[in-house]
Each structure stands twice: as C-alpha cells, then as structure tokens.
Amino acid sequence: MPKFLIKWKVNSQKMPEDPEKILKLLQETNNWIKAEMASGHIKDYGEYCDGSGGYSIAEGDDIAQLYGSLMEFWPYVEFDAKPVVSIDQVIDWTNKLVAKRKGK
C-alpha cells in the first residue's frame, strides 16, 4: 500500500486570535490524529518542539481521500505531501537497474 510523507506547518496568520479557540482547535486536531492512527491511516506522527509544524506518515490507496483529509485543516495548516518508497522497493529497483545495465 502506498505511503506518504506529510510535512506540515502551522499558518499562524490564519489561526484564531482567541487562545481558547486555538486550544479547542488543537484538541480537535489531536483527537482526529489519534483516531486516524487507530484506524491505521496514519502510521507515525510527530510535532516539532517549537509547535511550528511536524510530520506524519500516512498509508492508503486513495489519493483523493488523502487530499480531502488534509484540506480539512486548511487554511490553518499548510502541507507538503509526497509518496515514498520503502528500502525494499529501493533495493528491488536498484537491482533491476544493475541487471539492465549489465545486459547492455
């Protein structure tokens, strides 16, 4: 199943000014992340110590679903999501390339 590295950062210009609203938004986000981790959609999650952003590793076949999930947090959070391959996939393709070049 495809995996995605998602780096995210808080768009502080779009955050509410009221600290209570910010805390409520953070609680809702934390609960959503825990639920996504429990479902297996998010495999790993981390936040930078300064609170400015973080990363997650997501897994799934439906890119449109990933897009929709990320857009739930827009405009408060900006994302950079990229598909990634495992080391086993890297080794497999490296071996194929080596074999192909030897055949020339």
Encode pLDDT of 10-19 as tens digits: 999 999 999 9
Q: How confident is the model at residue 1 (pLDDT cuts 50, 70, 90)?
A: confident
pLDDT for 46-66, tens place per residue?
999 998 999 999 999 999 999
- pTM of the predicted protein model: 0.83
Pick the CATH number of 3-102 from 3.20.20.140, 3.30.70.1060, 3.90.1170.40, 3.30.43.10: 3.30.70.1060
| pLDDT of res. 27 | 94
Is 80 exceeded by the pLDDT of residue 98? Answer: yes
What sign for the dihedral angle of Cα 46, 52, 86, 60? positive
Who's near 4: CB < 8 A, 6+ residues apart? 57, 58, 59, 60, 66, 81, 82, 83, 84
Q: For the chain, what are the domain ranges?
A: 3-102
Please answer whether residues 58 and 41 qualify as being in contact, where contact means their C-beta atoms are separated by less than 8 angstroms: yes
Q: What is the mean pLDDT of residues 35-39?
A: 94
| pLDDT of res. 103 | 81
